[in-house]
A and B are shown apart, each in its own frame.
Chain A
Amino acid sequence: MVADITERFASSMAAANVESTRVEAAAFEAALEEVVESPAVGAPLGIEGVSLEDTAVTVPPTPRLLMDAETGVTRVHGGIAEYGTFVIQSDAEGTEPVSLYPRTHVGVVRASDLHEDVESVAAWLDEEFDAGRDSAILATGASATGDMGEIVRGVHGPQTVHAIVITDR
């Protein structure tokens, strides 16, 4: 079951131009190294056995890092398999701005946090809202605009998005 939804999530992300890597927690650091371009900034991931501590990613974020970093690495708290959507919750550690300011966003998501569709994510968010975690961004792919006459990727938000799915969490 988990394998199926992970597969669907990856294929929807591919359709939204989001590359993804599927690894077990033990292989996280190596997978991260593959996709992070320095300088990189991050917010704590809060996933058991998965940490940015011994990586090239600088934590905690500062305004200058937000401005200068090529890559921002954050936890992604949920996913929507149907559309390849990240659910990024706001927190005091700065997950929201780190996922927003740098040119590349690398989102780390536990396979067990994936949801099938918008309906099931809304049901989960309803519980989260009640628990006080009441702000979240549903982000699908890179930021884009058509306002200059044709579609251009990379506007105020990231130009490139990459997902690392932790398959054993």
Chain B
Amino acid sequence: MSETTTRAEKAARIRHLFQTEGEAVFENTNHINNGRYEANARTDDIEELRSTARRIKEDAIERLPELIEEIRESVEANGGTVYLADDAADANRYITEVVEDNDAESVVKSKSMTSEEIDVNEALEANDVGVYETDLGEFVLQVADEAPSHLVGPAFHKSTEEIAELFNAHFDPETPFETATDLTQFARDYVGEQIRDADVGMTGANFVFAESGTIALVTNEGNARKCAVTPETHVAVAGIEKLIPSVREFPPFAELIAKAAGGQDIATYLSLLSPPVDSPVIDFENPDEPLSGGGPEDREFHLVLIDNGRTAMREDDELRETLYCIRCGACANSCANFQHVGGHAFGGETYTGGIATGWEAGVHGQESAAEFNDLCTGCSRCVNACPVKIDIPWINTAVRDRINRGADPERFDSLVEGLTPDEEPGGLDVQKRLFGNYGTLARLGSATAPVSNWLADLGPSRALMERAFGVDRRRELPAFERTTLRDWFADREPLPSADDGDRSAVIYPDAYTNYVLVNRGKAAVRTLEALGVDVAVAPCYESGRAPLSQGMIETARTNATRVADSLEPSIEAGRDVVVIEPSDLAAFRREYDRLLPADRAENLAEHSYEIMEYVYGLLENGADAAVLEGGADVAYHSHCQQRTLGVDVYTEEVLSKLDYDVVTSDVECCGMAGSFGYKSEYYELSMEVGDTLREQFEGETDRTLVASGASCHEQLGSLFPRESVHPIELVAPR
């Protein structure tokens, strides 16, 4: 199959999902994402809780073999059994045997992604055992015969109306269901009957306390409590990564999980059960006998701990962090792409959302992750959302790199030779190679401008670019400037005020600023000089952001080294590094740590500032704000990675100091995300995401559009007829 056909099919599949499921997913994920922001804002020590939770998970995974031994002893001492299953088949064989030994005809289950991972329902049903999901979301999916689309809200892709339609057709009630209350009451009663009749109750476990043999279940509905205590036999299925030492380590997770998962301060039910529990078995066949019995004499408990690839993940430096995941779904809710398309596109065999790449690569294999991994644009909004501080974009990048390296080495190489001085293997997807080498492309484009721009815009060129590289022809291409920022800077005299102050700076000119959006670079130079800074401009070397976004880690490492080589002498000479493009600052501060020796990465991160952050610092330290332009009405969209770094506030502060009236967007990402919006398979999704931003600003026709990122600027250009500017262009002296 040709690349073009594959890209067109992928585009069609994504389009179908955002048309059919996007609206419900958007409403549900946004509702919870906003709830998370509010719940976290009410919590003074949220960062401390996240750090503590992270440390506990790191330690638990480090000590995993020891904790597995401990849980075996504690559960057995309580009177239960632990089975350590190597893989799904092993787990299913054991569970089927337990069910058979109990002569069970039916099993009731509470929600468990791990049980989805091993497909235990199918295994039991193949043995003629009835399996009933009791979480209402899972129940909806069981009726619909569909897969979960979200870690926490498995039926997030369905609206009340759709569920009503499904239930009315399936159950044919006397009075058709209409409201969420109708549906909930019916489902509760229906499922309640299954629980009363069931012979075995199966649950997952959100956490397992090794010391006491306790499983912690986090729910709101109460179904897990019923499944665990009503039948006499309880089977709990949990990945080995769920182990933590004891109840003493539980508090940060109790605080964090519901905030991250549902925007609640605390979950309705945190059930800490050390089965077999003392609660009496409830025998509905003898309804008038007082409840009695319980404990190990009357109850049976099996803890099935699943490995299924986790031990290998623990040994894997890139995938290990995935094991810290507490399955809250916050990475999905905070992801602009996920919000618009849901987990049926942004997910693999079992897992969904940003962290799914790690899980799928670990438990089902790289091919499952490859299906959806490119939907992570690296915008990094999930980084601050994750309650255990997993660097989810990095996992996506690392797995993308592995997928690239596993590709067929024969394809297309001749097309990009010469354009691509990269460190990547033959066979790398040609589209990725093109975008990953954007810096080289921009240098050549600028050197041959305006001819390169005319050529690029010609119909036949766009057709070729679409066919060969998957660059969507509906997207306007950036126009290269013949005079680069560096050329302009070399040919001018500094402003007279340039060395009035005590700071000197070197501007890092990214490829966009040097070759395309040159005005923002000029504005940065003028602003800094007007504020008394002695300014230099560094060589234009690609930061590594572009190859990183394509999963080309070795190329990014080479880039990072060259940038560090070029900036270190300036830092040594006392200059501050000023960065205009937020995604490059994010590379310096977040990713260089993984690409460079720690001391070099730290040095660069410590001395680098986003341009508006730097201006803020100058004004705070006595520079004269009066030399800058002020006082207009603006609509400002900050950049996703800038917000993750927390530096967006400086732009807003500077604009406020200069008497601007500012309306800000609150979308997580504009949808363009570097090269993502250019790719023909993702163009429509990118525009769909952008449409949410368009809606926020569509009433602001009198305001100047302002955006910090180059790709946000491109996206605004396709959403609105008028131009947008960088904040530095707004405030720069004319």
B660 within 8 A of partner (CB)? no
By the criterion CB–CB under 8 Å, are A143 and B267 in contact?
A: no
By the criterion CB–CB under 8 Å, are B247 and A67 in contact?
A: no
Given A126-B246, A129-B274, A148-B136 in contact, is the A92-B280 Cβ separation under 8 Å?
yes
B197 within 8 A of partner (CB)? no
B633 within 8 A of partner (CB)? no
The listed residue (B137, B160, B187, B278) touching A135 by CB distance below 8 A is B278
By the criterion CB–CB under 8 Å, are A139 and B268 in contact?
A: yes
Bound-state Cα–Cα, A122 to B255, Å: 12
Residues of A near B196 (CB, < 8 A) are 67
From residue A90, how far is it (CB to closest CB) to chain B in Å?
5
Residues of A near B155 (CB, < 8 A) are 147
From residue A101, how far is it (CB to closest CB) to chain B in Å?
8
By the criterion CB–CB under 8 Å, are B268 and A141 in contact?
A: yes
Residues of A near B248 (CB, < 8 A) are 122-123, 126
Given A61-B291, A96-B229 in contact, is the A147-B135 Cβ separation under 8 Å?
yes
From residue B56, how far is it (CB to closest CB) to chain A in Å?
13
Bound-state Cα–Cα, A79 to B241, Å: 30
Query: Chain A interface: which of B177-185, B335-343, B365-373, B510-518?
Result: B177-185
Residues of B near A67 (CB, < 8 A) are 196, 284, 287
By the criterion CB–CB under 8 Å, are A149 and B159 in contact?
A: yes
A83 within 8 A of partner (CB)? yes
Given A134-B214, A138-B270, A148-B183 in contact, is the A156-B226 Cβ separation under 8 Å?
yes
Given A92-B279, A129-B212, A152-B180 in contact, is the A140-B268 Cβ separation under 8 Å?
yes
Q: How many cross-chain pairs have Cβ atoms below 8 Å apart between A and B?
A: 190
B163 within 8 A of partner (CB)? yes
Bound-state Cα–Cα, A141 to B220, Å: 10
From residue B58, how far is it (CB to closest CB) to chain A in Å?
20
A34 within 8 A of partner (CB)? no
B4 within 8 A of partner (CB)? no
Bound-state Cα–Cα, A101 to B22, Å: 37
B269 within 8 A of partner (CB)? yes
Residues of B near A126 (CB, < 8 A) are 246-248
Bound-state Cα–Cα, A90 to B277, Å: 7
Residues of A near B222 (CB, < 8 A) are 100, 143, 155-158
Residues of A near B136 (CB, < 8 A) are 145, 147-148, 155
From residue B488, how far is it (CB to closest CB) to chain A in Å?
56
A146 within 8 A of partner (CB)? yes
The listed residue (A91, A119, A141, A142) touching B251 by CB distance below 8 A is A119
Residue of B nearest to A156 (CB): B222
Q: Scan residues 54-78 of chain A and give those whose CB is less than 8 A from a CB of chain B.
A: 60-64, 66-67
Residue of B nearest to A15 (CB): B265
From residue A123, how far is it (CB to closest CB) to chain B in Å?
7
Given A61-B291, A140-B266, A140-B267 in contact, is the A94-B135 Cβ separation under 8 Å?
no
From residue B396, how far is it (CB to closest CB) to chain A in Å?
28
B271 within 8 A of partner (CB)? yes
For A144-164 the 0/1 string (1 means CB < 8 A from B) is: 111111111011111000000
Residues of B near A142 (CB, < 8 A) are 268
Bound-state Cα–Cα, A150 to B163, Å: 12
By the criterion CB–CB under 8 Å, are A145 and B226 in contact?
A: no
Bound-state Cα–Cα, A83 to B266, Å: 7
By the criterion CB–CB under 8 Å, are B247 and A156 in contact?
A: no
For A89-116 the 0/1 string (1 means CB < 8 A from B) is: 0111111110011000000000000000
By the criterion CB–CB under 8 Å, are B290 and A149 in contact?
A: no
Residue of A nearest to B181 (CB): A152
Q: Scan residues 147-168 of chain B and give those whose CB is less than 8 A from a CB of chain A.
A: 153, 155, 158-161, 163
By the criterion CB–CB under 8 Å, are B266 and A144 in contact?
A: no
Residue of A nearest to B136 (CB): A147
A47 within 8 A of partner (CB)? no
A136 within 8 A of partner (CB)? yes
B289 within 8 A of partner (CB)? yes
The listed residue (B137, B163, B266, B269) touching A143 by CB distance below 8 A is B269
By the criterion CB–CB under 8 Å, are A97 and B180 in contact?
A: no
A23 within 8 A of partner (CB)? no
Q: Scan residues 629-651 of chain B and give those whose CB is less than 8 A from a CB of chain A.
A: none
Bound-state Cα–Cα, A94 to B137, Å: 29
Interface size of B in residues (CB-CB distance below 8 Å): 74
From residue A96, how far is it (CB to closest CB) to chain B in Å?
4
Bound-state Cα–Cα, A137 to B278, Å: 13
From residue B503, how far is it (CB to closest CB) to chain A in Å?
45
Residues of A near B160 (CB, < 8 A) are 148-150
Residues of A near B163 (CB, < 8 A) are 148-149
From residue A133, how far is it (CB to closest CB) to chain B in Å?
8
By the criterion CB–CB under 8 Å, are A96 and B277 in contact?
A: yes
Q: Scan residues 233-285 of chain B and give those whose CB is less than 8 A from a CB of chain A.
A: 246-248, 250-251, 254-255, 262, 265-275, 277-280, 282-284
By the criterion CB–CB under 8 Å, are A122 and B290 in contact?
A: no
Given A122-B251, A135-B278 in contact, is the A92-B292 Cβ separation under 8 Å?
yes
Residues of B near A119 (CB, < 8 A) are 251
Given A61-B291, A156-B225 in contact, is the A139-B269 Cβ separation under 8 Å?
yes
Given A118-B255, A150-B160, A156-B188 in contact, is the A136-B272 Cβ separation under 8 Å?
yes
Bound-state Cα–Cα, A126 to B212, Å: 9
Bound-state Cα–Cα, A156 to B268, Å: 12
Residues of A near B295 (CB, < 8 A) are 92
Bound-state Cα–Cα, A150 to B278, Å: 36
Given A144-B220, A148-B163, A152-B181 in contact, is the A138-B287 Cβ separation under 8 Å?
no
Residue of A nearest to B195 (CB): A156
Residues of A near B294 (CB, < 8 A) are 92
By the criterion CB–CB under 8 Å, are B223 and A155 in contact?
A: yes
Bound-state Cα–Cα, A122 to B646, Å: 33
Bound-state Cα–Cα, A20 to B634, Å: 50
The listed residue (B137, B195, B279, B293) touching A96 by CB distance below 8 A is B279
Residues of A near B426 (CB, < 8 A) are none
By the criterion CB–CB under 8 Å, are B291 and A62 in contact?
A: yes
B140 within 8 A of partner (CB)? yes
Residues of A near B24 (CB, < 8 A) are 149
From residue B225, how far is it (CB to closest CB) to chain A in Å?
6
A125 within 8 A of partner (CB)? yes
A6 within 8 A of partner (CB)? no
By the criterion CB–CB under 8 Å, are B282 and A97 in contact?
A: yes
Residues of B near A64 (CB, < 8 A) are 287-288
Residue of A nearest to B160 (CB): A149
Q: Which residues of A contact B (CB under 8 A)?
A: 60-64, 66-67, 83, 85, 90-97, 100-101, 118-119, 122-123, 125-126, 129, 134-152, 154-158
A-B residue pairs in contact (CB < 8 Å), sample of 16 = A61-B290, A63-B288, A83-B266, A92-B292, A94-B279, A94-B280, A100-B222, A100-B226, A118-B250, A122-B248, A142-B268, A144-B221, A147-B153, A155-B222, A156-B191, A156-B195
Q: Which residues of B contact A (CB under 8 A)?
A: 24, 28, 78, 134-137, 139-140, 153, 155, 158-161, 163, 180-181, 183-184, 187-188, 191-192, 195-196, 211-214, 220-223, 225-226, 229-230, 246-248, 250-251, 254-255, 262, 265-275, 277-280, 282-284, 286-295
Closest 10 CB pairs of A and B: A157-B222, A149-B160, A156-B222, A147-B137, A134-B274, A64-B287, A148-B180, A147-B136, A138-B270, A155-B221
